[in-house]
Amino acid sequence: MVDWAKIREDFPVLKRIINGRPLVYLDSACMSLKPIQVLEAMNEYYEKYPACAGRSIHKLGEEASNAYSDARGKFARFINAAEPEECIWTRNATESLNIVANCVHLEKGDKIVTTSLEHHSGSLPFVERARRDGLELVVVEAKSDGTFDIEDWKQAIDNKVRLISVVHSSNVTGTIAPMKEIVEIAHDRGALVMSDDAQYAPHHPLDVQALDIDFSAISVHKMCGPTGVGVLYGKLDLLKSMDMFLVGGDTVSDVRYEDHKIIPEYLPPPEKFEAGLQNYAGAIGAGAAAEYLMAIGLKEVERHERSLLSYVLDELKDLGHVRFLGTDDINIKTGLVTFSIDTIESAHDIATFLNEEFSVMVRSGAHCTHPFHYQMNIPPSKGTARASFYLYNNKGDADIFLEGIRALIEASS
């Protein structure tokens, strides 16, 4: 049984008082808070062995190399990768998605499939690859509740499709895509699947082998880890076959100079995709974050969030004036609720009121999902508000959020 009150104590920022009120942080879909275990792991690197990993053979270099390698192993266990080498350190999920969009071999006449529900980072790299190389881009349209019709996928994925980018859990509707079924359809027709797991991995158990996905993109800052660190998972044989994204130091085993020519010999993955000096402290923090979540259990995190989500959705439905974006089926949804209030013109006004009057912090805007907002006839300039829950939130947070929504509706009616 998880002691959620004790979990909250791991997050120092939750002790802050703002404008005489306790901080209520409901913006974890944008950026999660950081537990002391992650902060301590990163500080240990800076305080005890702040050296180059994989380069220097002295004692500090050795300790840095071991911690860096251990972090990769922890993350591989977190997503059940077959080998640690299948986990590439990047800056964020956006960079991971760009690597796949640019480095998978595609030929003229091939097709790429994406969806109307994608975060811009999950669609635009593939839009630009298609534009650059004369490829056809096919868009699977999400239904109004943020779910997909599997028949649409069967129709979209023909034998010319070579690459698919799909958001596993939407950052705007919270809905979870039928990834297993999509992968099976794709593989039957010779296509690779890129899963955007930035929102899925922090909140649900992710088993890349069970899903048989070819690639996965994760942002560590959304899963209790540091900023500026992401992970690209790829099946090892695919990573070996891909072009390189960046080249330079740490990507080569040798560079010969012969007959007035420079001849490089490149390393295999993961070094192949990790050019230059890396964010060692960040990677170590990412490993600590993965270890922290595994110790709690992602099933427990999922259950806790859905309990809060169920409570909030039921209460909001009784208020009137609140309009939801996406399904209210918590069994196919990550712990967030995106909404508008019909008496309020702009979502920014909702976020501003909650912040200033109740110290409740939510996100407002179009959430980098302009196509889906347009599909739903919501101008991105008006946007929607999003409250997102995580393992450190509790019913008290939910009640203060609801109190703020009630007060806003009353003030604006």
Catalytic residues: 368
Q: Which of 126, 102, 128 is CA-nearest to residue 115? A: 126
Q: Which of 129, 65, 21, 124 is CA-nearest to residue 284? A: 65
- Strands 384-388 and 336-341, by their bridges, are antiparallel
Neighbours of 240 (CB within 10 A): 12
Supply φ then ψ for residue 373, to 5 degrees: -65, -45
CA–CA separation, 154 and 107 (whole Å): 22
CA–CA separation, 146 and 373 (whole Å): 11
* SS3 state at 192: strand
C-alpha dihedral, 271 to 276 to 279 to 280, nearest 10°: 60
43 CB contacts (<8 Å, ≥6 apart)? Answer: none
Angle at 19 between CA 28 and CA 409, to 5 degrees: 70
Neighbours of 257 (CB within 10 A): 8
> Given strand 363-365, what is the order of strands in its sheet?
322-325, 336-341, 384-388, 363-365
